[in-house]
């Protein structure tokens, strides 16, 4: 926790010498409230703003400016109220039972119990703010919304771990892992499949150049996913499922659209086939370039991946008129998610001998060597 060390308004100071424990506790509480401790962690800090230096507390204007600079990420400034139950009781218990603690531990304890320890960095200090001024009601609400990790979270984690362990033991007892014949480089099984989580890529491999299917498309997908938070920066809808009013309908529409288009494309390549089609066209027109590897394995597959995305974007724009980046990201990510799932299912359950499409119960789904 970054509250340790410099800038901690809960440092024990020289003017506390000789005070009673209760008086010191009151002083800590006042300073905590003045420093705005107890609020959620400040976005200003998270964005790289320096914590306040120990002696020179910034003027209120400076603190406000800092919040403003952090723009949309700033949370409403709220401060720990001086007298909420948690803080008071915490400080008292911390003091009364403090015999076994080092001064440093005692100070951290006071800080943690008052502040709830939910945050990382200390909140920016508001200069000389009185406890009364700082104890706004949203802050009191926030204080009450904090719960102790022990026992609340620790219990959930413990139960989840036990359940997960038990399920893994049961699955391990019931399902036997496959172990086929000894590896033999001379006997190619038909079909030869990658592990299930790569069958989506192997499915792509059937339709396009291996560089596209195995390297470029997955790398581009991961890179695009990684940039999502740098494009969609609006924090208004953080922490809620779907968040914006339009994102759930957009996700729903994208799911159906993607599933239908994807399955149509797979059937098209299986029954008509880009290569046979281009060969016929090339033969008919005499333009051999149309039947080149570049056209059939790179250009047309790329076009067939991009075009449905553009059409999707147009449709979503027409139908839903998305409000900002979040709605667009929901559309894009849902598209990726559905493609991943559908291709994995097709590759796992519908590709049999010769990597042709079969029903899962078709005898040609079995591997032969």
Partner 1 sequence: MQEMRPFLDDLRHGNIRRALTENRVFKSVFRTGYPSTPRNQALIMFNNVFLHLHPVRIRRESLKVTYTFCLGGLSFFMFLLLTVTGVLLMFYYRPATAVAYSDMKDLETVVTFGMLLRNMHRYAAHAMVILVFLHMVRVFYTGAYKPPREFNWVVGVILLTLTFLLSFTGYLLPWDQLAIWAVTVGTNMAGATPIIGEQVKFAIVGGYEIGDNTLIRWYVLHVIALPLLTALFMTVHFWRIRKDGGIAGPL
Touching partner 1, residues 136-195 (CB under 8 A): 145-154, 156-157, 160-161, 164-165, 168-169, 171-173, 175-185, 187-189, 192-195
Neighbouring residues of 136: CB distance < 8 A, sequence distance ≥ 6 = 78, 79, 81
Does the protein bind partner 1 through residue 100 (CB under 8 A)?
yes
Does the protein bind partner 1 through residue 369 (CB under 8 A)?
yes
Nearest approach, Cβ of residue 233 and partner 1 (Å):
6
Does the protein bind partner 1 through residue 41 (CB under 8 A)?
yes
End-to-end Cα distance, the chain: 59
Q: How far is CA 281 from the centre of its chain?
A: 47
Does the protein bind partner 1 through residue 50 (CB under 8 A)?
no
Q: How many residues sit in the footprint of partner 1 (CB under 8 A)?
A: 106
Phi first, then psi, for residue 342 (nearest 5°) are -65, -45
Does the protein bind partner 1 through residue 55 (CB under 8 A)?
no
Does the protein bind partner 1 through residue 324 (CB under 8 A)?
no
Does the protein bind partner 1 through residue 211 (CB under 8 A)?
yes
Sites for partner 1 among residues 252-311 (CB under 8 A)? none
What's the CA dihedral at 132, 138, 141, 147 to 10 degrees? -100
Nearest approach, Cβ of residue 283 and partner 1 (Å):
28
Sites for partner 1 among residues 225-254 (CB under 8 A)? 225-226, 228-230, 232-243, 251
Q: Are 309 and 254 in contact (CB under 8 A)?
A: no
Q: Which of 73, 136, 259, 353 binds partner 1 (CB under 8 A)?
A: 73
Q: Are 122 and 11 in contact (CB under 8 A)?
A: no
Q: Provide the 10 A C-beta neighbour count for residue 53.
A: 11
Taking the least distance from each CB to partner 1, the nearer of 242 and 268 is 242
Does the protein bind partner 1 through residue 49 (CB under 8 A)?
no
Q: Which of 59, 89, 272, 306 binds partner 1 (CB under 8 A)?
A: 89
Neighbouring residues of 42: CB distance < 8 A, sequence distance ≥ 6 = 49, 67, 70, 74, 75, 119, 121, 123, 124
Q: Angle, to 10 degrees, between the axis of helix 300-320 and the axis of helix 274-285? A: 110
């Amino acid at each position: 926790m970054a509250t340790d060390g410099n800038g901690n308004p809960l440092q024990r100071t020289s003017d506390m010498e000789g005070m009673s424990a209760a008086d010191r506790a009151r002083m800590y509480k006042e300073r905590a409230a003045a420093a705005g401790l107890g609020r959620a962690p400040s976005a200003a800090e998270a964005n790289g703003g320096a914590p306040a230096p120990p002696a020179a507390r910034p003027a209120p204007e400076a603190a406000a400016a800092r919040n403003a600079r952090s723009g949309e990420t700033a949370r409403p400034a709220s401060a720990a109220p001086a007298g909420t139950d948690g803080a008071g009781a915490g400080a008292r218990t911390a003091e009364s039972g403090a015999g076994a603690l080092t001064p440093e531990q005692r100070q951290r304890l006071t800080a943690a119990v008052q502040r709830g320890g939910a945050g990382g960095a200390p909140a920016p200090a508001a200069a000389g703010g009185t406890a009364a001024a700082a104890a706004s009601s949203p802050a009191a609400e926030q204080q009450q919304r904090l719960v102790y990790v022990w026992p609340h979270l620790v219990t959930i984690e413990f139960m989840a771990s036990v359940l997960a362990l038990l399920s893994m033991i049961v699955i391990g007892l019931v399902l036997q892992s496959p172990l086929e014949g000894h590896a033999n480089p001379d006997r190619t099984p038909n079909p030869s499949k990658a592990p299930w989580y790569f069958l989506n890529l192997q499915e792509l491999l059937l339709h396009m150049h291996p560089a596209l299917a195995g390297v470029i498309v997955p790398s581009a997908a991961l890179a695009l996913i990684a940039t999502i938070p740098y494009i969609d920066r609006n924090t208004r809808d953080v922490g809620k499922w779907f968040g914006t009013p339009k994102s759930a309908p957009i996700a729903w529409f994208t799911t159906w659209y993607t599933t239908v288009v994807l399955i149509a494309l797979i059937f098209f390549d299986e029954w008509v086939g880009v290569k046979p089609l281009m060969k016929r066209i090339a033969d008919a027109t005499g333009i051999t370039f149309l039947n080149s590897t570049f056209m059939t394995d790179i250009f047309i597959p790329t076009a067939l991946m991009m075009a449905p995305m553009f059409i999707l974007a147009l449709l979503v724009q027409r139908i839903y008129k998305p409000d900002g980046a979040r709605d667009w990201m929901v559309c894009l990510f849902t598209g990726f998610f559905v493609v991943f799932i559908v291709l994995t299912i097709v590759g796992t359950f519908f590709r049999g001998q010769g990597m042709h499409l079969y029903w899962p119960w078709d005898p040609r789904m079995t591997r032969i060597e």
